[in-house]
Chain A
Amino acid sequence: MGQAYSAGLTVTENTVLRKERLLPLKGEVLVNKGDKVKAEDVVAQTLLPGKVVPLNLANKLGVTPAQLSNFVKVKAGDQIKKGTVLAENKGLFGLGIMKNSVTSPTDGEVESISAHTGQILLREPRIPVQVKAFIDGVVTDIIPNEGVIIENKSAYVQGIFGIGGETVGTLKFLASSPEEELLPEKIDDSCAGTIIIAGAFVRYPAIDKARKVGVKAIITGGIDDQDIKQLLGYDLGVAITGHENVGITIVCTEGFGKINMAKKTFNLLQKFNGAKTSIHGRTQIRAGVIRPEIIIPLEFQAEELTAPEIKLPVLEVGTLIRVIRQPNFGKIARVISLPEELTKVESETLVRVLKAQFEDGTEALIPRANVEVIES
């Protein structure tokens, strides 16, 4: 999922996707090469090492660490149950009077016992972890003990920012135009289990209602930072998201503030209204850029799965661009010339610019750093 930073987000009706689905640690792969899988299927699983529970045995027993070996009832590697006696002293005069024993607070295994510190380390039982396919598709490769590669043909939209983890649902259109704000009144019980699509904006009351009725995810053009703060309960510091547990996944296609969803994105999603869709809000701007994804699997034959050539977005005359900073933030335009000389913009910064024509025919000079190529 990591990729080199390119100033452009993909919005396409038809692409071949290749997803690595890997375990956090080595484990067991449950499917075979060539298998068809559904998004909900478990493709690999493993057992994570259990938590380590340290316990100062010598202190609890009231002996020195050096004396501890005389009282310990277990050794490193022993399997234990909650309540297993780990150590006990012999009581007064060795007669068992006021005998003191220490029992295990957990099931698991004895990791080590230290004669220097009097500490015993117990390890809780392993924790099962499963990796799901996340997209409908075909297993095209197996990475032994680690995971699988799944490929499919999809309609595919990259968001610019999101929160919340992976989920799957059907697309449900609630906006009649890319300029519309999604109001809470439009959300009802029929939205449960779906991924709803707003136009330009969605505010906290609508997000709150959506998660209450059981909406899986919201796709919107823009969102207000204060609403995100209210939803998360804290101010988002660095842009590493996707792990939030707020009961809903949100993907923004354009950015912060009320910004019309790009027509191309809006029309594409509208075309697939009702389709099964995989979506996540994972965003990471630093070191290996990750953007949120909206994946709508299509019917395909195996031989269609040839990965498209990776094209780096190129700025040239005729390229369709989106302005990604004020002024004209969010507007779509076409490049009409690329002057070479450095140009002084209003802030007096000397930058390389391009000349672009907006959809209404007006023209403007825009810093090249402030546009992104709309890929198809």
Chain B
Amino acid sequence: MQYDEKRLTRIVATDCGSTTTKAILIEWIDGEYRQTVRGEAPTTVEAPLNDVTKGVINSVQELEELARLKYHNPNIKFMENGEFVIPRKGDIGVDAYVSTSSAGGGLQMMVTGVVASMTGESAERAALGAGAIVMDLIASNDKRMNHEKIERIRQLRPDMILMAGGEDGGTIKHVVEMAELVAAADPKPRLGSGYKLPVIYAGNKMAIQEVEETLKDKVNLMITENIRPKLEVENLGPARDKIHNIFMEHVMQQAPGYNKLMTWTMGPEHEIVPIMPTPAAVGNIMQAVARAENIEVVGVDIGGATTDIFSVFTEDFIFNRTVSANLGMSYSISNVLASAGLPNIMRWVPFFIDESELRNMIKNKMIRPTTIPSLLEELVLEQAIAKEALRLAFEQHKEFAVTLKGTQRQRDISEAFSQSTSGATIVNMMSLGLLVGSGGVLSHAPRRNQSAMMLIDAFLPEGITRLAVDSIFMMPHLGVLSEICEKAATEVFNKDCLIYLGTCVAPVGKNKLGKPALTAKINLPDGTVFEEEIPYGEMRLIPLGVGEVAKAKLKAHGGMILDKDKNKELEVDLYGGVVGIILDTRGRQPFELPPDPETRINSLKKWMRELKAYPEQILK
């Protein structure tokens, strides 16, 4: 059910995270939806309070206080007697209350399939898309011995299992064999021992009876449509919906206070708006924005322990999400070093540092995760590590966001010699319109220019790409809000959620150092004109404020191109932001840093100076 401003004039949305519950107020003011105040309080899902609603009440109280101050109106109130007043009556109450949740470790799942790269991957995609952390994918062909699989299933204590396998009418034996392994492991749910583990079966429908016989006494088995009814068809919707239902009805029920919270989240007609897993809500808003603006979007949330990447690509707005469970900036920082390797981190550092000193610094951050870089040198090092964490997480994302594997495609003559095969990534940096970063290291960098540089170096946007950060991570709230009011969600997303950094222009291709790469003539709104033939291997920053638009004539040289149609010349509007327009002629595909350390350090210093990323003292 969708509402508009006639029914929704004041909405409270909360996101109950593992540590903090964040509340925002969205209001219809002067003909538009705006996010007006926000409050936060510690999440209270653990002892001694053991009731998530306490944290919600505290965060909403802060909202009320701030709203009273903002409007100089002491009568404003959203809750009475510890409950929301819905719908709003003048100063009292709100028209809707919605919430997302990732408290208590979020939703943790195990998935199974027959062939890991086909039904297994589809099951993984369904679980990730539904906002889960996938603890393991167990498939008939995953090279582990059966007894090892049983051991593994037993050790994991997921919130639920999603079982896929076989197209309809295809293999039964392998699917039932997997059910037998699950039955032998007799898995137990993570929260509470008083209920049976929910298991969703979304595989070959011809195997349903056998799977039921094998599993019905051991687990709480639920059947839904096959996730991969045919090899060339992926049907994730029913499995995702089932995961959400189970998350609400079984998993959340076990978390303290959620029974109460689930009755609070409602729209103006008192109809329940289900609590969403936080990442699923982020997926929702990103798809809504991609549709509304007709653009492709990539979002990243880099935390202390994990990095989530969300993307919406292709004309069908296909949404993908990946969680890189061990790439993060504090708890997992040392794993970034182990995965990326020291040389990859050092390639972003504009000074020499002893290996053992760097290793010890990283480990000290790991064991004391709440410390902050006080020295400039340590800030630069942390941001270098962040670039590698983001790069690795994005690589994993690109490998996962692919067309269906194992299918045959009919090709026309124009494709006969192209390399595209089934399983190719759908992530196309050239057609990407918007790149959004969030998470401490990106949102709270002392200079926004540093956030822009981290996004560019890690993601290597191609052609013309807008850059932004979601500084308070409002995307979850807007994602669940879009369930009842897409208009409010997308309006607030555009006006209040994002801080636009600016636009990156990066011609794709290789050239020779010093040779012309890009001629840019940019007419700025204040009447000045930027005009330069920029050599290969450079960066330029042209200030252009938030909401400002510049008319640009761009021409790429040598073998370089500017957009997905391989145009070498473009006339486009470039959008500003708190940083401005960044012209990057360092090349793409390949993007190469000078191999010689001294030359590389000099280049890094030149780029960092041009982008005003760091104070001069460290770039001397």
Contact = CB atoms under 8 A, between A and B. Distances in A.
A242 B360 CA distance: 20
A112 B373 contact: no
A24 to B, nearest CB: 11
B615 interface: yes
B374 A117 contact: no
Given A54-B147, A236-B338, A348 B447 contact: yes
Interface residues of B, number: 53
Interface stretch (B110-118, B315-323, B329-337): B329-337
A359 to B, nearest CB: 20
Given A54-B184, A285-B331, A285-B366, A349 B359 contact: no
Interface string B340-373: 0000000000000001110111111111111111
A78 interface: no
A325 B371 contact: yes
Given A117-B177, A286-B331, A348 B446 contact: yes
Nearest to A325: B371
Contact of B374 (A65, A114, A257, A346): A346
Given A114-B214, A256-B359, A287 B374 contact: no
Interface-centre pick from B180, B181, B305, B369 (highest chain A CB count, 10 A) = B180
A7 B371 CA distance: 10
B326 A7 contact: no
Main secondary structure of the interface of B (DSSP, over half): helix
Nearest to A229: B359
Contacts of A325: 364-365, 368, 371-374, 378
B210 interface: yes
Contacts of A326: 361, 374-375, 378
Nearest to B145: A54
Nearest to A258: B360
Counting chain A residues whose Cβ lies within 8 A of the other chain, the interface size class is 35 or more
Contacts of B147: 51-54
Nearest to B146: A54
Contacts of A257: 357, 360, 364
B184 A112 contact: yes
Contacts of A324: 364, 368, 371
A238 B334 contact: yes
B151 interface: yes
Nearest to B365: A325
A51, A326, A367 interface centre (most CB from chain B within 10 Å): A326
B305 A286 contact: yes
A207 to B, nearest CB: 16
Select the residue from B147, B172, B210, B326 with max chain A CB neighbours within 10 A.
B147
Nearest to A287: B105
Contacts of A51: 147, 150-151
A329 interface: yes
Nearest to A368: B372
Interface in B142-159: 146-147, 150-151
A329 B363 contact: no
Q: Across the A-B interface, give the 10 residue pairs with the lowest CB-CB distance, nearest first.
A: A348-B446, A237-B335, A347-B379, A256-B360, A225-B359, A235-B338, A54-B146, A257-B360, A256-B363, A325-B371
Interface of B: 105, 146-147, 150-151, 172-173, 176-177, 180-181, 183-185, 210, 214, 305, 326, 330-332, 334-335, 337-339, 355-357, 359-376, 378-379, 444, 446-447, 615
27 contacts: A5-B370, A51-B151, A54-B181, A112-B183, A119-B177, A161-B367, A225-B359, A226-B355, A234-B338, A235-B337, A238-B326, A238-B332, A256-B360, A256-B361, A256-B367, A257-B364, A285-B366, A285-B367, A326-B375, A346-B376, A347-B375, A349-B446, A351-B374, A367-B371, A369-B371, A369-B372, A370-B372
